[in-house]
Structure 1
Amino acid sequence: MSDKVTTVWKEKMIFESDNPSGYSFNLGVSEEDNDPYKSLRPKAAMLSALAACSGLDVVSVAEKMKTEFSDFKIEVVGELTDEHPKIYHTVIVDYHFYGSDLDEKKITKAVNLSVEKYCGVMEMFRQFSKVETKINFHNN
């Protein structure tokens, strides 16, 4: 199985990239405050991909375990090296779960399955950076 994307230069420092699901998004570095392209910086997009990959796993596994939460967010912080090429040497993935009567044991198991087994993007990050994870429960 393989994925293919096509990325096209739009203007200045902006590129448009398609996606195997058919949707397009912009990547680049904007020089203007009112950038009409609303582009994502490429390295930050990698962090978003990591969060989405793991989040998809967590939601899927939690659903199968019949555990619920009212809200869920993932904050990812990447620390770059000082020298070029600048890469993330450390990445912190911070999971936040909100709800009443959160089943912390099941949710922790869902996160751990994503981190240790299912999330391919997480595994790719491990090839070049130290990945740390934290789980936070916010009971209403």
Structure 2
Amino acid sequence: MTNHITTKWLGNMAFESNNPSGNTLIIDIAPEDGGEGQGYRPKALMLSSLAGCSGLDVASLIKKMKLEVEEFTIETIADLTEEHPKSYNKVTIEYHFKGANLAEKKLQRAVDLSIDKYCGVMEMFRQFATLEIKTIFKK
């Protein structure tokens, strides 16, 4: 399977990028870097991809296991290297589950399956960064 993405320059520092889903997004940089801050920043978008990929795995497993979850949030915190080209060298991924009747062991299993087996973006991140995974449960 091949993904083909077209990214078109819109002028100044902005680009429009499509997706196989037919949706588009704008990529831009901060005004202090010469952009207009009207779009997603490329490196931050990688973190959204990571959280989205793993989140979809976990959401699918929540449905399959018929688990009760009121709220599910993923916090992704990444450290950039100081030198250019700046890249992520450490990424913390926190899975936050909130609910009155959380099946903690099953939810942890869903997270583990995503991390170890299903999430391709997680596997790509492993090639260049140290990953720290945390699972937090709240009533």
Gaps of 5+ in 1: none
Root mean square deviation, CA, Å? 1.5
- Report the equivalent of 1:114: 114
What amino acid sits opposite 2:18 in the alignment? Answer: D
Q: For residue 77 of structure 1, give the secondary structure of its aligned residue in structure 2.
A: strand
TM-score relative to the length of structure 2: 0.94
Give 1:120 deviation, angstroms: 0.2
Contact 2:28 2:37 survives alignment (8 Å) = no
What amino acid sits opposite 1:133 in the alignment? Answer: I
The ranges of structure 1 where at least 4 consecutive aligned residues each deviate by more than 2 angstroms after the TM superposition are 35-38
Contact 1:80 1:87 survives alignment (8 Å) = yes
Query: Cα deviations across residues 24-61 of structure 1 (Å, max 9, x unaligned)?
Result: 001120328xx987301000000000000000000101
- Report the equivalent of 1:26: 26
- Report the equivalent of 1:69: 69
Give 1:66 deviation, angstroms: 1.6
TM-score relative to the length of structure 1: 0.93
Give 1:77 deviation, angstroms: 0.7
Contact 1:77 1:93 survives alignment (8 Å) = yes
Q: Work out the number of aligned pairs and report it.
A: 137
Contact 2:76 2:92 survives alignment (8 Å) = yes
Question: CA separation of 1:42/1:99 partners in 2, compared to 1, >3 Å: closer, same or farther?
Answer: same
Q: For residue 50 of structure 1, give the secondary structure of its aligned residue in structure 2.
A: helix
Contact 1:6 1:18 survives alignment (8 Å) = yes
Gaps of 5+ in 2: none
